[in-house]
Amino acid sequence: MQRGCVIFIIAASLAILVCSVILRIFFMPAYQAKGTARIIGVIEMAINEYQRDFAVYPQGQNLSLTKKLLGDNARSKRYIPEDSIVVRDNRMVDLWKRPMNIIMNGRRPMVISSGKNGIYGDDDDIKGESAPK
């Protein structure tokens, strides 16, 4: 192999490495936030479908609610697929792989992600439609 080809391959490899690091640092958090908002929407749709079938919202925190939506209910109906990115270790998670916070607000469950920093109750939390803004 000629010296020019080796230099080109090394330069191209370094360019790919730099681009991937830039993408990871600058664009991944925005992707994770938008994706998590969509995951919350999927969870809320599943909860609403459960409510239409049973005339009540499913009760419980993340683990018990996940089991009900995965088919541990009177109809054995799955509202979310078990192999979905929404579920990890039988819990509903965000794209940072942290469990979602499911809060009962008296009417229906509110789905909240702690966001990028992993701390609930601050400005980077990602909330579903039923959560107060």
pLDDT tens string 100-113: 998 877 677 889 99
- Report the share of the chain in percent with pLDDT over 90: 56
Global pTM value: 0.76
CA distance 74 to 91: 20
- Report the share of the chain in percent with pLDDT over 70: 95
Q: What is the dihedral angle through the alpha carbons of 103, 129, 112, 94, rounded to the nearest 10 degrees?
A: 130
Mean pLDDT over the full length of the chain: 88
Model confidence pLDDT, tens digit, residues 11-54: 999 999 998 888 877 777 788 889 999 999 999 999 999 999 99
Domains of the chain and any CATH numbers: 28-127 (3.30.700)
Check residue 1 and give its pLDDT: 60
Q: How far from each other are the two terminal CA atoms of the chain, in whole angstroms?
A: 62
> Is the pLDDT assigned to residue 132 strictly greater than 60?
no
Check residue 25 and give its pLDDT: 78
Quote the DSSP letter at residue 119: -
Range of lowest pLDDT (2-6, 54-58, 84-88, 98-102) = 2-6
